[in-house]
Structure 1
């Protein structure tokens, strides 16, 4: 009996020592990001949200071109009268933009284009982050399903062995029942894992819209350390660029409202012929008219535009505070999860296959009871499932950190070593 005990324990000790000496290598950006970048290209092309943002950007550019056009078109008037005096007069009038309304509208149109451009970039980044996190969840569900199938196979073999040992009298009938119950529980838990994988893939499908995209497997290694990337300056992040463009648009709206208060004159030039009996004269007329801003001065519109500009400036400052806090939180969370994942891989808890094999040998040798075997096997499986989930959360935290640092696209392109862009 001592020989049976020492041999497997010695093997496990050697495996454990080897695990302690092997550190999980971080995944190189090119190795992990290349297949993801290819998949994301398909996601962006198929995403209705990206298509809508692109259409909104095209519309903003068209509105900007429209805002840069002259405000007023000339008016042609024709006048004819047959009475005591016959009149035939043609006139041309044009309102003159002397207050700079066109320039103000053009400035606001350009600012609105910048808002749409920043929103387009921000949407693509957010879709990429959502898809990457959903991908890691789906990859985790696939790993857990494979582990669950392994558990189901173990329980089936254990149930068959328990029946054999019951027939020869090595175990009692209650212990045989424990094996049957464990097999039934493994089948139910496997059904739950299959459901979780289906839900994860459905969430992924809701983002990509395509079920034909080849999903890359979750890398065997862990993401790089947090110090491997240099976060961009807060003001260069897409959220801040969009908020700053919104502030510029609001300030341009103040100029538009201020210019709208100033009346523009209308100049009219008319010419023709007037016949009064035998007398016929040519006439030329010049007319200048200007509206009087008496009933509606436009002051309320200017005050409202100023208030909108103040709100946009406050929103910009708020975004700055939020993004700084998000970066700090994402970095701390990622470092903690990665350290926990490294510790899990270095520890004995990661050796699920070796531990289950050892438990089965001990149970066959009669050195552990059926209940103890099932208890330890369940603990080993729960720990293995938790380890997979920890690594998936580490990858999700890595994506959150890249997003908060403004480096998600750089990581996908293999350019995280740059200090700025």
Structure 2
């Protein structure tokens, strides 16, 4: 496949970023797809629908500010669109396209009945007051309203968005529709139809998939050394679960800095310190280290739970872990992926490892539609089962075909999506 042929005309080649990474991944998986489905691969290399919106709001000082927002539906062959909303100053259309495409594959890998979608606004929410953030959220929701609906497209939280943002989105959509629609977003507060277990779901999925990999590699989680990049909801939950299982969390890194302790960090104390001080550096019982040095920390398991494109070829050469777990979306560049393969490092890909969040979002959606809610134990048990089954399917496919876990996950996910296209046919 020639990637240039699959660059939409509204994107310039120098601003592809993550979208180009996705195209390379499709390139690598295409030879492993079944012969009957391979001709349909181009359906994956173009987003189904991309909406760009202007989001004007009135600031607290009375001035008007404009922000650019996006919502991309990559593929809806298997169900309504599903994917988060991020507020970040570096959001681009190419990034949102890639994230929506990874959601397509991810949803298919864990076999939940959703297609892939994603959204974002190019804004630094830290520069907005709470009232300005609410106005931004409501205006953005109104602008993308034409795409949304519990059977059309269901947003969720992502970077710099949370259950409060989801509550505003749900309320705005409901006001515009003239009826309360709890199922239009997931990741909501419990009081508005949110699901128990949702906050830890992605981190829990990271933990469960790592435990499954460790079993097959003969590694005991109890006593294993774990380094976690990113200490938000995903990284913090994963670190906490590893520590509770007896692992030693030897290093943590977030945008504020990095800390390490070969004997193990107190994850709860690190979280409390960051909440109080706004940074990880200086946390008690830890050495503050250079952010670049984090990648050279001796560890058995490395969790990448920050942003995309963090693991470059230079970083891949320095990693000492036996297992790299992608808690974030697209943290490893294609070039770095090859280096990790050559070095024998097992990579649990994002479309499998961080699928816990969308799985529990699916549970929330089902609960909202049925108006019947489950206990947290029931939710965790269902999540663990789905993650274990998905991991087993990907692991077995990788061993049967002699391919990396990422390629195997993409084969499994892409074939499910393309089979849906095949049996549905082409309309009109």
TM-score (norm 2): 0.19
Q: Would you tell me which structure has more strand in proportion to its own residues? A: 2
Greater CA radius of gyration, 1 or 2? 1
Q: Would you tell me which structure has more helix in proportion to its own residues? A: 1
